[in-house]
Amino acid sequence: MLSRDINRAGLLDILGAAGTVNVQDEDQQKLDVQANEIFIQLLKQSPYVAAIGTEEDPDLIVFDDVAHNRAEYIVYLDPVDGSSNIDVNVSVGTNFLLFKRKSLANTRLKKEDYLQSGTEAVCAGYVVYGASTMLVYTVGQGVDGFTLDASLGEFMLSHPQMKFPKECTIYSVNEGNYQLWSKEVQAYIEEIKANPKTTARYIGSLVADFHRNLLKGGVFAYPPDTKKPQGKLRLLYEAIPFALLATQAGGAATTGTKDILSIKPSDIHERTPLYIGTKKEVQLIGKYLSNS
């Protein structure tokens, strides 16, 4: 449904701001609101989903009716990652993450059910809406990519067992924030730039940046800065899903000092710095931050 509407965005009333802000205090795009409603309504119909957390809603949405008494899964999703880019016809996506509840069925959900670390996730992935629509996901047995055949209405396996190339050829970071970074982060980026084989590519849509780097070999960074000392990206909606994909594809993901997958969130909207991609370049940030 979203793929269809995004491909017809200029003909539908889904461009531009919705005139509201989400729990992140960010301006919501019309597409954010529409996609959020679609996912909530569709996932609510599943007897397997006990609760949903989305970037657009302040609280966890819990389904506690009889139809969901035996539901086992908590789903986190960013309905439209990079939604502001839809106005200029740049790729956007949907990120998702699944946990299995720890408490017994037919009981109220507890924090231990929905605030789990990435090491306990059972599935993670994304859909990228670009020249083609692709679903990329993992259940802990590698990463597989599927391309939507619109004529059939089916996702067909097109990229089995995806892996990061060993050599990093791309770095993706918003260098407009350079003066807001610590000197350690600045030095880290300068070292990566010094490699004559690397080139800058930054779309500003995490799902699109990650997808390109997974195929071509690269590192994405969103460091903390003086305006956002805790980082900007959300742990459950962005960092953990992509970290799980990265590690399953032979890459790595870190806050700079901690493995993203080792962090147990304290809040469903917790933010984090993120360095993710080819292992060598991700691990390099530790050299600069270890003594800071």
* 17-to-56, 89, 284, 287 alpha-carbon distances in Å: 14, 15, 39, 41
Instruction: Give the pLDDT score at 64.
Output: 86
Average pLDDT, the chain: 91
- Give residue 54's pLDDT: 94
Q: Considering only CA atoms, which of 177, 181, 248 is closest in space to residue 210?
A: 248
The amino acid that residue 127 corresponds to is V
> Could you give the CA distance from residue 35 to residue 278 in angstroms, rounded to a whole number?
31
pLDDT recorded at residue 32:
80
DSSP 232-286: SEEIIIIIHHHHHHHHHTT-EEESSSSBGGG---SSTT-EE-EEEESHHHHHHHH
**Distance (Å, whole) CA 118 – CA 10:** 37
**193: amino acid identity, one letter:** K
Distance CA 117, CA 261 (A): 6
Kindly list the structural domains of the chain, giving each domain's residue range(s) and its CATH number in brackets, ordered by start.
2-159 (3.30.540.10), 170-289 (3.40.190.80)
Predicted pLDDT of residue 27: 57
Q: How far, in Å, CA of 65 to CA of 63, rounded?
A: 6
pLDDT of residue 20: 65
pLDDT digits (tens, 9 = 90+) for 39-98: 999 999 999 999 999 988 999 999 988 889 899 999 999 999 987 777 777 889 999 999
Query: What does the pLDDT read at residue 7?
Result: 78
Q: Tell me the pLDDT of the chain (292 aa) as tens digits.
A: 888 887 776 665 555 554 565 556 665 667 788 889 999 999 999 999 999 999 889 999 999 888 898 999 999 999 999 877 777 778 899 999 999 999 988 888 999 999 999 999 999 999 999 889 999 999 999 999 999 998 999 999 999 999 999 999 999 999 999 999 999 999 999 999 999 999 999 998 999 999 999 999 999 999 999 999 999 999 999 999 999 999 999 999 999 999 999 999 999 999 999 999 999 999 999 999 987 6
**Which has the closest alpha carbon to 34: 49, 54, 51?**
54
pLDDT in the model for residue 16: 53
Residue with tokens 């003066």: 179
What is the per-residue pLDDT for 164? Answer: 98
Residue 112 has a pLDDT of 95
Beta strands in 61-166 (DSSP E): 61-62, 73-81, 92-100, 123-129, 133-138, 144-149, 154-159
